[in-house]
Structure 1
Amino acid sequence: MTAHLLLGIDTGGTYTDAVLFSEATGVIAKAKALTTRHDLSVGISGAVEAVLQKAQVPVSAISLVSLSTTLATNALVEGQGGRAGLIMIGFGPEDLKRDGLIEALGSDPVLFLPGGHNVHGGETPLDMRALDEALPELGRQVSSFAIAGYFAVRNPDHEKRVRERIREVSHLPVTCSHELSSKLGGPRRALTTLLNARLVSMIDRLIGSCEDFLKGRGIDVPMMVVRGDGALISAAEARLRPIETILSGPAASLVGARHLTGLENAVVSDIGGTTTDVAVLEGGRPRLDADGAVVGGFRTMVEAVAMRTFGLGGDSEVRIDDRGLKAKFELGPRRFLPLSLAAHLHGEAVLSVLEKQLRSPHAGRHDGRFAVRTGLPDHLASGLQPQEQALYDRIRLVPVALADLLVTTAQRATLDRLVARGLVHISGLTPSDAMHVLGRQSQWNAEAARLGLELAARGRDGSGQPIATSAKLLAEMVVDRLTRQSSEVILQACLHEDGAGAIDPAASLAVDRALKREPGIVRFSIGLDRPLVGLGASAPVYYPVIADMLGTAASIPGEADVANAVGAVVGQVRATVTVFVTTPEEGIFVVNGAGISERFLKQEHAFDVARLRAETMALETARANGAEQPVATLHEEIDAPEIEGGRKLMEARFIASASGRPRIAHF
């Protein structure tokens, strides 16, 4: 049973999951550890050590490690990453105004060089004098370089020459645009390349620290990383193209859902601590975003799953609007540190404050809320404004009550800025606390959850009535709100996929009546055309009720709590290569892509070369990405309209895809 075990690791917003998986028998063991955002390797080592202890198998039985991560996504969303120098070949300053490139560039340096190619691969001479003058100083100002050449997807020669010069002088990491995409659209390709360059050092540190830990435990085996489209890529390739790991975690959950349920067509909803991710499985494969993944407000050229992410999870802030005659509940989008978890970590520092607040005859506006440092290193807190620094100095690694911390209204906005920078967590009431009070979760401190709910319940609505008569009743109300809000976001994602995104389920009276199943002369009903797969640790509790509300069947696999980690190890390595044939003049056929430009006098000869090139390069790339025995398929797209009674070739595209399982260590 222990032969060739696969180790899957997923770093989420709250937990890092690890599974030991056998291709013969499935999940052998699973474990979780709290994600340590300031140093992800700590959470990874905690989860791996726990799963090894549970399985009681020797580390020599592990033959492959695969990682899914939200690190690249979070970094782009939060505007983090290294400083990169952008080299544009054959472009001008006006090109920066397209596709959000100038906004993405910010204060990073950009250099324009004469050169580039045309659509047929013909070159404008490259002039590197400006690069040679700037490189010595530029190399000291940035941590990496990004190169984008005009029509480099048709002829990458200039990008390669500039790359060699930069490496020769600066010895820094360099990303070329032709390595990331074969699609036309220079500015967006440049944007994608720039974002990739910024992520290189960050992903390098994550993979490096993970590899160091594994080797220290004697696990010296191939390591894979999940791409945003659900395919696997070797750790070495992920270091070169970290941009491909955006949406890695959600993609892994879809692959895991397919494997664990066997369903070909489904709506998959994954509820975590911070977010709910919703996507569609069609014919056993996740739907991909045809226009490229949007991350941090920028549309990239990276193929990734068409995933809708909502700020709704077990750790979402519970907001109570008590201004109306009846109190209303809203969850998220902010993530809080649950009171039950804060007390689990800090004990009496939290419990004593909650008890004191509950004994007070008058409710305070900040009752049941705390601030605590996230534990990021001090250098990441540089550049704070004086008022931010003053408040930050008063916050420690042990929670402090907001009632004691905030003296003025302005300080609340200052605290929000510290939270936005990732320096401080707010601890307060969440659905996870409600679940502890109802006995449906038990891993943290249920007493702190009860105290927090009692504090919230004693507030009064607009009619003067208490918000709830007991902590348990309030907990039920919070869980009911999570069920309803989850149904709304799943519907919103599905309507978007159907092209009906203008309908807002949260605001539609018709949807409201259908979800509530209110009786009336006119009956409204709503339903999905496929099952709802629920993933996440709390999926068995929430998703049967949500599926019933949405008029469909629920499918909650036994390993729903670690589906991402399962997806990380059961995926395939996949590589796609496109080769083009164009006609710059009558009787001349030019082959571009996957090698040097070549000219031919016969169309069929050019087509044969293009087919061979595409298949050969796809197989080579799949092997480089870690596939053991990849198999290639070929798809052809030929644009040859009828002109004056004869067919004239405009462009032919030969698209080869190679896929296979990752190679494993053989002992």
Structure 2
Amino acid sequence: MAILLGVDTGGTYTDAVLIRDEKVVIASAKVLTTRQDLAISVGAAVRAVLAQSGVAAEQVTMASLSTTLATNALVEGQGGRVALVYIGFRERDLDAHGLREALKGDPYIVLDGGHDHAGVQVATLDEAALIAFLETHKEDVSGFAVAAQFGTRNPAHEVRAAELVTQITGRPVSASHQLSAKLNGPKRALTAVLNARLIGLTLRLIKRAEQVLADLGITAPLMVVRGDGALMSAAQARARPIETILSGPAASIVGARWMTGAETALVSDIGGTTTDVAMLKNGRPAIDPAGARVGPYRTMVEAVAMRTTGLGGDSEVHFTVEGLQGGVTLGPRRLLPVSLIAHEAADVVLPVLEQQLRSATPGEHDARFVRAVQGVEAHGLPERDADLLNRIGTGVWPLGKVLKSRMETGALKRLVERGLVQVAGVTPSDAAHELGVVSAWDTDAARMALELFGRRRTGAGVMLARDPQAVAQIIVDQLTHQTGLALLEAAFSEDPQDFGLSAEVLARHVLMQRGLGRHAGVVRIDTGLNVPVIGLGASAASYYPAVGDLMGCEMILPEHAGVANAIGAVVGRVTMRRSGTVTSPSEGRFRVHLDSGPEDFMASDAALTRLETALRTAARSDAEAAGAGDIQIRVERDIRTAEAEARQVFVEATLTVEASGRPRVADG
């Protein structure tokens, strides 16, 4: 009998499930994520399912982890301070693909070096300048990213730079050629920067997860879900954490298919921070050929074709004034719900809310609180940021008491982006407490916070709403509306019909929106979705029936929808892909681009055979290292030719080898 343990660590909740023989869920649990020490919530969730099922720890034959932490970090702009080593490029190349924006002021150096498209060195690597840069920044960053021009055609300079980073700084280093075999240096550099930014967070998660499982007596191997829904070993995830972006959402798609058996459906997973929408076609999620997009960033990581929106149960609620009429919008930033921070620090939060309600004049920071996240490294903070972090200390504070001037709002924003500080405020979770949909945290705090929010004045000078219930309903209605937009955008992007406009424009088009309201004037307009929606997430049962009504479609809410990510974490397969290229730098010469450097052959068949052999070996080795058994190999060849003088001439070939198999399980 195989007992499989799945764990999903999200921004708000940590879930665990036990599945017997890949057929039935025998226990599930959901606990609050403890960001200051992830082991606490992982341990609590695992202990809960073991106790619930009566299964002994030593009976667990496989453990697997999925997480939304990397996705959330990128959406919220969080992560460690990093440095970029940019070889063979120009300064202006930093502006391509949002690379400079992703650096967020972190240090970088543009060095001489790099290769051409054929893998031939165009300039010597400037090691002296690199060494000086590394000596300057070895103490004030958490990791380094290295990207060289045409590094996938010849990685020699990336390899050498990475060696120097390790020797001089001892910090983790992300080399772009190890993350993608594709061209486009700035985009690879962006992927390497994000990977380096996530390493510290991912290392802490995996280390603490492994430690708590060992403490509980679980000796089964630990797997981690990749962004394409496949599994890899914990060691592989530590080296390439960027591949875990969209890990949790990808696991939810795998879990949705396992729970429902659906062939064609939209899958919408609402978490605390994001809503993730993907399409099941013929029972399989599609892989995004352009690379995973999370928030503002388009990476080169293979992942499920998914639209991730900063919209969740813990999304920040913004007050808006449109003309004379007030309203709200949600996201993309996540806040701690007031009901949650009051649940954890009632002695601070409740008296402050009561005092703010007694004031005749609404305050700028009403119902806002702040606290530091303990245990996160604070490298290279500016003096103002460090002072603010020290002032916050280990307590919970009303935001207005902590900020001494408007100048410090920028410092607070930077601390939040670094994951060093959390801000609490009004969220849809608070609205759900007031409406009686959920009661997990402090309902009284939610009610007071909503009353404070409702006192804000519209352009006409009137209050948004006097009744906390009315404020709560406004917020939930907006969540329904924005979820509908996310579903429509995903649906239009998957529809085979080309409407000549972007999915975003189509979803928001006045005719589409009127059709959702079933407009029936002289013209009748009726729009919606023509496929079912599978609603997943802890709050799906609370919010998604109204979404189904709005979209005019079947809304499927599986029994275990709240722990779909944890289910998907253990029912997936190990799948490893390796890609490589053969080029023809001159007639009758065929160059194989390998990690070890270019190799030339006189015949295309020989070159292709050499590349396929190398890729097969590497993919199989990766799959075996991930713990796969009964490995199957699949090879895809994309050979480009051109017609010249009435004959076909070889131009370039790309080979992709996929090695896959189910994870081997330990003896239970």
TM-score bin (small chain) = 0.7 to 0.9
Structure 1 letter corresponding to 2:544: Y
Give the structure 2 partner of residue 57 of structure 1.
55
1:355/1:199 Cα in 2 relative to 1: closer, same or farther (>3 Å)? closer
Partner SS, residue 61 of structure 2: strand
Give the structure 2 partner of residue 242 of structure 1.
241
TM-score (norm 2): 0.86
CA distance in 1, matches of 2:112, 2:413: 43
Give the structure 1 partner of residue 475 of structure 2.
478
CA distance in 1, matches of 2:130, 2:459: 71
CA distance in 1, matches of 2:158, 2:326: 61
Instruction: Kindly report which structure 2 residues correspond to 1:458-473, keeping only aligned pairs within 5 A, or say none.
Output: 470-473=467-470
Deviations 1:424-447 (A, max 9, x none): 544444332332233321212233
1:458/1:203 Cα in 2 relative to 1: closer, same or farther (>3 Å)? closer
1:42/1:382 Cα in 2 relative to 1: closer, same or farther (>3 Å)? farther
Count of equivalent residues? 661
CA distance in 2, matches of 1:24, 1:294: 31
Q: Does 1:545 align with 2:555?
A: no
Q: Does 1:197 align with 2:199?
A: no
Give the structure 1 partner of residue 346 of structure 2.
347
Confirm or deny: 8 A CA contact 2:5 2:19 kept in the other structure. Answer: yes
1:32/1:384 Cα in 2 relative to 1: closer, same or farther (>3 Å)? farther
1:481/1:187 Cα in 2 relative to 1: closer, same or farther (>3 Å)? closer
CA distance in 2, matches of 1:624, 1:504: 45
Partner SS, residue 218 of structure 2: coil
Give the structure 2 partner of residue 331 of structure 1.
330
Confirm or deny: 8 A CA contact 1:453 1:474 kept in the other structure. Answer: yes
Give the structure 2 partner of residue 375 of structure 1.
373
Q: CA RMSD in A?
A: 3.7
Instruction: Kindly report which structure 2 residues correspond to 1:577-596, keeping only aligned pairs within 5 A, or say none.
Output: 577-593=578-594
Structure 2 letter corresponding to 1:431: P
Deviations 1:554-583 (A, max 9, x none): 111111111111111112111122243333
Structure 2 letter corresponding to 1:223: L
Confirm or deny: 8 A CA contact 1:128 1:162 kept in the other structure. Answer: no
Give the structure 1 partner of residue 521 of structure 2.
520
CA distance in 2, matches of 1:656, 1:549: 44
Confirm or deny: 8 A CA contact 1:371 1:424 kept in the other structure. Answer: no
Partner SS, residue 534 of structure 2: strand
Confirm or deny: 8 A CA contact 2:80 2:142 kept in the other structure. Answer: no
Q: Does 1:624 align with 2:622?
A: no
Partner SS, residue 266 of structure 2: strand
Partner SS, residue 393 of structure 1: helix
Cα distance, 1:510 vs structure 2: 1.7
- Using the TM superposition, name which of 264-273 and 442-451 deviates more: 442-451
Cα distance, 1:401 vs structure 2: 7.6
- Using the TM superposition, name which of 103-112 and 489-498 deviates more: 103-112
- Using the TM superposition, name which of 308-317 and 213-222 deviates more: 308-317
CA distance in 1, matches of 2:339, 2:374: 22
Give the structure 2 partner of residue 430 of structure 1.
427
CA distance in 2, matches of 1:13, 1:75: 9
Confirm or deny: 8 A CA contact 2:142 2:172 kept in the other structure. Answer: yes
Structure 1 letter corresponding to 2:648: R
Give the structure 1 partner of residue 29 of structure 2.
31
CA distance in 1, matches of 2:329, 2:109: 45
CA distance in 1, matches of 2:437, 2:44: 25
Instruction: Kindly report which structure 2 residues correspond to 1:199-214, keeping only aligned pairs within 5 A, or say none.
Output: 199-214=198-213
Give the structure 1 partner of residue 187 of structure 2.
188
Cα distance, 1:96 vs structure 2: 4.8
Structure 2 letter corresponding to 1:536: G
Give the structure 2 partner of residue 69 of structure 1.
67
Confirm or deny: 8 A CA contact 2:154 2:595 kept in the other structure. Answer: no
Q: Does 1:439 align with 2:440?
A: no
Confirm or deny: 8 A CA contact 1:640 1:650 kept in the other structure. Answer: yes
Cα distance, 1:520 vs structure 2: 1.0
Give the structure 1 partner of residue 490 of structure 2.
493
Deviations 1:167-186 (A, max 9, x none): 56665544333322111223
Cα distance, 1:126 vs structure 2: 6.1
1:99/1:519 Cα in 2 relative to 1: closer, same or farther (>3 Å)? closer
1:113/1:546 Cα in 2 relative to 1: closer, same or farther (>3 Å)? same
1:614/1:318 Cα in 2 relative to 1: closer, same or farther (>3 Å)? closer
1:469/1:401 Cα in 2 relative to 1: closer, same or farther (>3 Å)? same
Confirm or deny: 8 A CA contact 2:338 2:446 kept in the other structure. Answer: yes
Unpaired runs of at least 5, structure 2: none
Partner SS, residue 66 of structure 2: strand
Residue 12 (structure 1) aligned to one of 3, 7, 10:
10
Partner SS, residue 649 of structure 1: strand
CA distance in 1, matches of 2:133, 2:462: 70
Instruction: Kindly report which structure 2 residues correspond to 1:394-413, keeping only aligned pairs within 5 A, or say none.
Output: 397-400=395-398, 402=400
Cα distance, 1:631 vs structure 2: 0.5
Instruction: Kindly report which structure 2 residues correspond to 1:229-308, keeping only aligned pairs within 5 A, or say none.
Output: 229-295=228-294, 297-308=296-307
- Using the TM superposition, name which of 551-560 and 292-301 deviates more: 292-301
Unpaired runs of at least 5, structure 1: none
Confirm or deny: 8 A CA contact 2:79 2:419 kept in the other structure. Answer: no
CA distance in 2, matches of 1:637, 1:336: 46
Cα distance, 1:33 vs structure 2: 1.9
Residue 448 (structure 1) aligned to one of 445, 453, 456:
445
Cα distance, 1:308 vs structure 2: 2.3
Confirm or deny: 8 A CA contact 2:147 2:192 kept in the other structure. Answer: yes
Cα distance, 1:37 vs structure 2: 2.4
Give the structure 1 partner of residue 564 of structure 2.
563
Give the structure 1 partner of residue 309 of structure 2.
310
